[in-house]
Structure 1
Amino acid sequence: MRKISLIAGILILFAGSVWAAVAELDSDLMQAVEDVNKSMASNIALKDKKGSLSDATELGGMFAEIEHFYVSKGDADDAVRLSKKSRELVADILKSVNGGDFDHATNLATDLSRTCKSCHNFYKKS
């Protein structure tokens, strides 16, 4: 009986630590999004197609991860909507950069930054 209690206690402890780890979005990921977003904006301004495409592709993956987090978390409809919008903007940026339309890509990147900011207004802790 002690073994069962010990095993149950360990499992409960482990489950609690896993839950705590996923309770909030990883701040390192969010910092990486910010850094890559700034890099992408700079690459777009420099009309660096290769750098812009690389950054946009990386951001697309990050926003997919953020969307998955908020879908799994539940009760975060605004964050899900904004992360989907961010992925759509990134897809449009990829199309614009591939087409050589850096002016449009700049406008889209500005919209992306605004979308990030509006999500932070809902969810970022001070």
Structure 2
Amino acid sequence: MYSYDEPVYLISVVAKILEIHPQTLRQYEKEGLIEPGRTDGKMRLYSQRDIDKIKTILRLTRDMGVNLAGVDIILRLKEKLDELDSINEELRNNLQKKSQGNQNIKIKQNSYEVILFHKKQ
């Protein structure tokens, strides 16, 4: 079985799976929205992650009417949010390790992670 990030699908296969023209995939690459892998012979190969990203692009363009420039902005913001979520998770874990045994620190977890410090009265 292949990993999620391993490029194994040819452009024709991806186009058929997603019911789009291969030229659409080439356009997405030209716009910088996707970066398929390449064989030594320069053939495009797509991973499952690429296919999922293309599905997101299609959803934004077809269902929500977003143009490709808007899609680019949305995808960049999503990448940044994912990066920040990862940093937040790491910081939260570090704080939790340090706060064990210290009752003055309370960690609140929700979609917007907030760390609250309670002062002793």
Relative to the length of structure 2, the TM-score reads 0.31
Larger % of helix: which?
Answer: 1
Task: Decide which structure has greater strand share.
Answer: 2
Larger Cα-atom Rg: 2
